[in-house]
């Protein structure tokens, strides 16, 4: 069978006309990484990628970043915002790391994705960790060159970085090619990659007032579509039915962030004992790495549900009465977006203490209660949860206050900032509906 080349393909013969060539820099990429290309000049998709064919085409936006779900979920939220604003899903690309959680989380999402060999610095002194660090410069170089090739293939109007080590190759490629770069920062203290990229970015879209990032625009944090329009009160009965929870039971949800928390998981055993005989529910999102741990003792009168990962968060938020959670940026933004009462226990080893600062945005306004890891050990956290369950008026006030704070996250400010950067019309300041 003879295949005819289309307008976006190079001819399969050795001879080419002047207007039927690939850009020279792209040929460098193909020459260096011939295993990544097929005979027609198109990039071969990575294992697990949703993108079937990266033919030469112009796209509107490339969203980049990842490594952990704390970066990937905001990236997905940004893609959803762009689609809601009228940009076809075919005009959006996502670029992450093939060594993070991206491929698993992006599997059910429609946006075409590409995964680079970039990896983060390993802080463990194991042989495997040190071996990965030795290979890090090569992986970084390879990822940068591949990112430049992808940028030339897609010619995007804007690149949006959500931070993390996976954002570096494409962000640097955008800056080198003078493509508008938007850095999205949703922590009170931006991460290292975001701080570095923001120095030359077109704008920095930030979730909190008073950001130190240059050319900052207050846009709120990127939050998934299923949560931005959620009415937890109206959805409560249906969500409890979906989760198998009685409508009359008092429900506590404990979640320790994308990786789970051993400290919060240990507290659950004490919480179950304290709630014995109360006809309550403890819904425990323990983290995949803890999913095979031995089950705690479950006393009579308490329903206990444990999952390693939960993708039905709209149902979980609608069903719960009180949330116990770490204070990662995505968790804090979601709490405010949907409006729930939370006991926040920041991870003490977070860089620059940013989780505590994230939590204080809620707790200083009365929308949450701030506690530390020690409270999980000495029983104070359990006592606080049981007090809240007995005080429905206070829970309602906390939830309403959180919802009021989350108005900026439910707005279209972020997508407007991205569109403005693409058209080079964004001025420094606050963008809102």
- pLDDT score for 352: 81
Residues 349, 240 within the same domain: yes
Residues 205, 86 within the same domain: yes
How far is residue 433's CA from residue 431's CA, in Å, rounded to a whole number? 7
* 204 found inside a domain: yes
Which H or E run contains 250?
A: strand 250-255
Residues 219, 230 within the same domain: no
- pLDDT score for 64: 97
**57 with 154: CB under 8 angstroms?**
yes
* 119 found inside a domain: yes
Average pLDDT rounded to a whole number, residues 273-293 = 91
Q: Which residue has the tokens 């080079």?
A: 424
**120 with 67: CB under 8 angstroms?**
yes
> Which residues pair with residue 115 across a beta bridge?
96
Residue 31 has pLDDT above 50, yes or no: no
How far is residue 290's CA from residue 144's CA, in Å, rounded to a whole number? 35
**Which one has a higher pLDDT value, 265 or 17?**
265
Residues 284, 398 within the same domain: yes
**326 with 373: CB under 8 angstroms?**
no
**Which one has a higher pLDDT value, 20 or 120?**
120
**370 with 360: CB under 8 angstroms?**
yes
Other C-beta atoms closer than 10 Å to the C-beta of 317 total 23
pTM (predicted TM-score): 0.81
Residue 177 has pLDDT above 80, yes or no: yes
- pLDDT score for 120: 59
Q: How far is CA 399 from the centre of its chain?
A: 23
337-360 exposure pattern, b = at least 16 Cβ within 10 A, e = fewer = bbbbbbbbbbbeebeeebbbbbbb
The mean pLDDT value of the chain amounts to 84
Residues 273, 342 within the same domain: yes
Number of structural domains the chain divides into? 2
* 1 found inside a domain: no
- pLDDT score for 41: 38
Which H or E run contains 415?
A: helix 413-422
* 128 found inside a domain: yes
How far is residue 52's CA from residue 29's CA, in Å, rounded to a whole number? 19
Residue 282 has pLDDT above 90, yes or no: yes
Distance (Å) of CA 240 to CA 231, 311, 319, 335, 421: 14, 15, 5, 18, 42
Residues 106, 199 within the same domain: yes
Highest mean pLDDT: which of 43-47, 139-143, 387-391? Answer: 387-391
* 188 found inside a domain: yes
> pLDDT, tens digit, for every residue of 110-149?
899 999 988 655 555 666 655 665 666 666 788 899 999 9
Residues 143, 230 within the same domain: no
Residue 51 has pLDDT above 60, yes or no: no
* 334 found inside a domain: yes
- What the block records as the tokens of 7 is 């307008």
Nearest to 395 by CA among 275, 233, 229: 233
Q: Given pLDDT bands bounded at 50, 70 and 90, which one contains residue 46?
A: very low
Residue 36 has pLDDT above 50, yes or no: no
Residue 189 has pLDDT above 50, yes or no: yes
Residues 248, 206 within the same domain: no
- pLDDT score for 105: 86
Q: What is the dihedral of CA 304, 308, 311, 312, to 10 degrees?
A: 0
Residues 186, 40 within the same domain: yes
Residue 16 has pLDDT above 70, yes or no: no
Which residue range forms the structural domain that includes residue 312?
226-407
Residue 377's CATH number = 3.40.50.2000
Q: Given pLDDT bands bounded at 50, 70 and 90, which one contains residue 104?
A: confident
**Sign of the C-alpha dihedral, residues 266, 269, 275, 278?**
positive
Residues 44, 124 within the same domain: yes
- What the block records as the tokens of 188 is 């009170």
- pLDDT score for 53: 47
Range scoring the smallest mean pLDDT among 3-17, 84-98, 114-128, 400-414: 3-17
* 40 found inside a domain: yes
Residues 169, 288 within the same domain: no
Residues 213, 239 within the same domain: no
* 14 found inside a domain: no
Question: If DSSP codes are grouped into helix, strand and coil, which group holds residue 275?
Answer: coil
User: From start to end of 326-406, where are the E strands?
Assistant: 342-344, 368-370
Q: Given pLDDT bands bounded at 50, 70 and 90, which one contains residue 58?
A: confident
């Amino acid at each position: 069978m003879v295949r005819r080349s289309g307008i976006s393909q190079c001819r399969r013969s050795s001879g080419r006309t002047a207007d039927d060539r690939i850009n020279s820099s792209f040929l460098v990429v193909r020459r260096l990484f011939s295993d990544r290309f097929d005979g027609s000049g198109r990039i071969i998709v990575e294992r697990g990628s949703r993108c079937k064919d990266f033919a030469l085409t112009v796209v509107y936006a490339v969203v980049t970043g990842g490594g952990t779900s704390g970066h990937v979920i905001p990236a997905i939220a940004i893609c959803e915002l762009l689609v809601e604003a009228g940009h076809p899903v075919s005009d959006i690309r996502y670029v992450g790391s093939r060594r993070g959680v991206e491929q698993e989380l992006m599997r059910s999402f429609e946006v075409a994705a590409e995964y680079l060999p970039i990896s983060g610095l390993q802080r463990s002194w194991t042989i495997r960790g040190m071996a990965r660090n030795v290979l890090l410069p090569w992986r970084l170089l390879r990822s940068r060159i591949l990112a430049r090739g992808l940028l030339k293939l897609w010619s995007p109007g804007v690149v949006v970085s959500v931070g993390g080590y996976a954002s570096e190759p494409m962000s640097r490629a955008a800056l080198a090619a003078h493509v508008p770069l938007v850095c999205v920062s949703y922590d009170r203290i931006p991460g290292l990659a975001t701080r570095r990229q923001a120095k030359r970015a077109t704008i920095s879209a930030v979730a909190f007032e008073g950001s130190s990032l240059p050319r900052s625009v207050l846009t709120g944090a990127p939050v998934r579509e299923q949560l931005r329009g959620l009415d937890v009160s109206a959805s409560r009965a249906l969500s409890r039915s979906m989760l198998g929870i009685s409508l009359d039971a008092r429900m506590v949800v404990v979640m320790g962030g994308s990786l789970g928390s051993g400290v919060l998981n240990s507290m659950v055993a004490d919480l179950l004992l304290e709630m014995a005989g109360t006809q309550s529910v403890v819904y425990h999102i323990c983290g995949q790495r803890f999913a095979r741990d031995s089950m705690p003792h479950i006393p009579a009168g308490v329903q206990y549900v444990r999952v390693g990962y939960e993708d039905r968060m709209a149902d979980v938020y609608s069903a719960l009465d009180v949330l116990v959670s770490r204070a990662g940026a995505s968790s804090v933004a979601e709490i405010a977006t949907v409006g729930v009462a939370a006991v926040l226990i920041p991870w003490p080893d977070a860089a620059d203490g940013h989780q505590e600062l994230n939590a204080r945005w809620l707790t200083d306004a009365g929308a949450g209660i701030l506690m530390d890891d020690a409270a999980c050990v000495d029983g104070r956290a359990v006592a606080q949860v049981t007090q809240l369950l007995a005080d429905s008026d206070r829970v309602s006030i906390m939830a309403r206050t959180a919802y009021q704070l989350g108005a900026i996250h439910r707005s279209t400010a972020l997508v407007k900032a991205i569109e403005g950067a693409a058209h080079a019309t964004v001025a420094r300041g606050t963008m809102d509906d």
